[in-house]
Structure formats: structure tokens, C-alpha cells
Amino acid sequence: MFTLYYKPACPFCQRVLQMGENLGVEFDLKDISEDKACAEELLQKGGKQQVPFLVDTETGASMYEASDIIDYIREHKPKSQGAQDVPKPRVHVSNAVCESCEG
């Protein structure tokens, strides 16, 4: 299970959340802007109040940096039973692909 410490207004957190949705990954979300206990927990586990911060409770791995987190969840996402990886449709205003839809 992945635990993600985040702030809803953080664009880097939104990038991780969007990629998790695209990959079918569920997070145990901990909003440090709304919950002081989560903010303290983040400080204990990571040493700073920077978000996003991912903790993989299965392996004990933890990390900051959105791009590192995205790479990690791509590699370690749980395999769904009986489900196939179906890419989500992408909607863009132009031919450009936004960073949230990478992958």
C-alpha cells in the first residue's frame, strides 16, 4: 500500500495523484495542510515538511520528488487481479501532452 503525504494545492502532488489514477494505483492520502498530526508524522518519517512524500508500507521505501515517486509507482504498482491495463483516454486542447498524462 502506498501512503502519500500531500497538499491539495501543490502542483507536484497533483501530478503524482493524476499518474496514480492513470495507473490504477490507490493511495492512502494524508493531507498535511488540514491535519496537524499528518504534518508531524511526515516530519518524523521524512525529516522535512516537503510534499509530495511517498511511503511504501510493503517495502518500507520512502521518497520525496514527484518524478521519483512516479517512477517508483510505475515499477512497483500492485498487479490487479483479472484486470487489464487499459490506457485512459486523453483530452487535450492542442496536440501537446501535459506532464500529468505522461506514460
**Which among 71, 1, 9, 49 has a CA at the least distance from the CA of 29?**
1
Helix (H, G, I), strand (E, B) or coil at 13: helix
DSSP assignment, residue 63? E
Q: What is the pLDDT of residues 6-30, one digit of tens each?
A: 999 999 999 999 999 999 999 999 9
Beta-bridge partners for 4: 29, 54
Burial class (CB in 10 A: 0-12, 13-18, 19+), 100: middle
Query: Can you give the pTM of this predicted structure?
Result: 0.76
Print the domain residue range for 96.
Answer: 2-79+86-101
Paired sense of beta strands 62-64 and 2-6, if any: unpaired
Read off the CATH number of the domain in which 67 is found: 3.40.30.10
Q: Which residue has the higher pLDDT, 94 or 54?
A: 54
Residue 54 has pLDDT above 80, yes or no: yes
Q: What is the pLDDT of residues 64-88, one digit of tens each?
A: 999 999 999 999 987 753 445 555 5
Domain count, the chain: 1
User: Among the residues of 29-82, which ranges form H helices?
Assistant: 36-46, 66-76
